[in-house]
Amino acid sequence: MLLPVFQDLIKPQWRAVLEELKLSGGLPVSELARRVDVSYMAAKQHCEELKKAGYLDRSRIPRTVVGRPEIFYSLSAKADALFPQAGADFTLELLEGLKALFGENAPDKLFFQHFQKLQEKWQALLSKAQSIGKKADKLASLRGKEGCLVRCVQDPEGGLRIEEFHNPLQRVFERYPRAVVMEQRMIEHLLGTRVTRREIPGGRNGQPQVVFEVAAAGNP
């Protein structure tokens, strides 16, 4: 989900390309064209325009069948500014200031309060959901409103999971990993079941993809 100001200013075709590349981590032109429902040449043109503006990187990958290497596009570091960041630099400065004033544990106490309040706020909104699947879907929607790019997926092979492609707090989490554990515990409490969190590297410039695997009711 792009920041609202960019949703208004960037033409819809560019927005579709940027969000699809954020979800996928990068795609060859042929697959990108299929996903955004435009021609190959249109997809390539949009990507080249975004590359010229500095928002995409271009490389080539071997084809799976005989032929010339295929053009591959992914988001550049500059593209991070298009997605919500929660004032990461300012937040990190404040947390460092808290440590200097109140001790090393001060940021953790603040994170605990944050997730506790968020849990109380969302608990009421999830209480009417009749199944874990519906709770997970609602939770993904709530996280989306907080600036995350997220979706809830349920299939026979992968089971129920919440896939997160962007989190405004990611840079904060990297500095304060205990906050990651607190967030995971909050999600477990809200869903009423065990949740396993794993990260998938996002490439040279992108955030990691975070997958919350949700255990079925009654599973250990």
- The CATH label, of 3.20.80.10, 1.10.10.10, 3.90.226.10, 3.40.50.10540, for the domain at 4-82 is 1.10.10.10
CATH 1.10.10.10 range(s) for the chain read 4-82
Residue 163 CA to its chain's centroid (Å): 7
Mean pLDDT (whole number) for 148-167:
88
Q: Tokens 């080249």 belong to which residue? A: 48
Instruction: Give the fold, CATH level 3, of 88-214.
Output: H-NOX domain (3.90.1520)
pLDDT tens-place string over residues 117-138: 999 999 999 988 889 999 999 9
- Nearest-CA neighbor of 26 among 164, 206, 148? 206
Q: Is 152 helix (H, G, I), strand (E, B) or coil?
A: strand
DSSP symbol at 176:
-
Contact 163/151 with Cβ under 8 angstroms?
yes
> How large is the greatest C-alpha to C-alpha distance in the chain, in angstroms?
63
The backbone torsions φ and ψ at residue 26, rounded to the nearest 5 degrees and listed phi first, read 135, 145
Contact 72/23 with Cβ under 8 angstroms?
no
Q: Tokens 């205990």 belong to which residue? A: 178
Least confident of 28-37, 68-77, 180-189, 198-207: 198-207
CATH 3.90.1520.10 range(s) for the chain read 88-214
The backbone torsions φ and ψ at residue 86, rounded to the nearest 5 degrees and listed phi first, read 60, 30
Q: From residue 75, how far is each of 142, 156, 178, 200 by CA, in Å? A: 25, 31, 28, 16
Q: Which residues make Cβ contacts (< 8 Å) with residue 65, sequence separation at least 6? A: none
pLDDT tens-place string over residues 7-58: 445 678 888 898 888 888 888 999 999 999 999 999 999 999 889 888 899 9
pTM of the model: 0.69
Mean of the per-residue pLDDT values for the chain?
84
Cα–Cα distance measured from residue 144 to residue 138, given in angstroms and rounded to the nearest whole number: 10
Q: Which two tokens stand for residue 84?
A: 């919500």
Q: Is the pLDDT of residue 64 over 70?
A: no
pLDDT tens-place string over residues 160-187: 999 998 888 888 898 999 999 999 999 9
